[in-house]
Amino acid sequence: MESSKNKMLTYFLICSVALVWSVILYRIFFKNSEEDYSLKSVSVIDKQEFYDQYVTKEDTFKLALNYRDPFLGTMEPLLASSLSIPVTKQQNFVPATPASPNIDWNAIKYAGYIVNPISKKLVSIIVVNGKERMLALGERFEGAQLLKYEKDSVLISWKGKQKYIKQ
């Protein structure tokens, strides 16, 4: 009984495959009219009309440039033209006192630390002007003094200023 069911299923599947392939072959060979291959005309838009859609508008805002400089950390000085106070010749201007010179902290790098397993003493590796030295707490090298050490940074005193240098 099962063999007759399998034969019927096989005949049904063969007929369905033949039907699908006949539809595909009919569409390929007998359904090719000229309208399938002709280009449909696209309405041409006037160029001026196309560019008028993207007209730029005037800016209606003003920039507020009185914020802190993100790189230097100082406020930008106001321009004389933006000041509302008129400058006259009778006013006496006193020159500002020169600020202390900027210190280039990039010359100092913290390379890491070493722990003595016996005495448990921590020694930091500091690079100053390209020269490397191991320093303990309070020691000096090339004018830099190690004041305090952490696992990821050290406190250095150099040219009268103090700063944490990160690893």
Position 18 scores a pLDDT of 97
Q: Which residues pair with 144 in a beta bridge?
A: 141, 158
> What is the pTM for the complete model shown?
0.39
Number of H helices, E strands in the chain: 3, 7
> What pLDDT digit, counting tens, does each position of 113-138 carry?
888 788 888 888 888 888 888 888 88
At 33, is the pLDDT very low, low, confident or very high (cuts 50, 70, 90)? low
DSSP-derived letter for residue 151 is: S
Identity of the amino acid at 154:
V
> What pLDDT digit, counting tens, does each position of 56-103 carry?
677 787 877 777 888 887 776 655 444 444 444 444 545 555 555 677
Q: How far is CA 80 from CA 22, 63, 67, 84, 87, in A?
A: 87, 17, 17, 8, 9
Position 111 scores a pLDDT of 87
Position 31 scores a pLDDT of 72
> What pLDDT digit, counting tens, does each position of 46-63 carry?
555 555 566 667 778 787
Position 101 scores a pLDDT of 64
CATH number for the domain formed by residue range(s) 105-166: 2.30.30.830
What residue ranges do the domains of the chain occupy?
A: 105-166
Burial-class residue 108 by CB neighbours within 10 Å (0-12, 13-18, 19+). buried
| 159 has pLDDT over 80 | yes
Among left, alpha and beta (phi > 0; psi -120 to 50; other), residue 159 is left
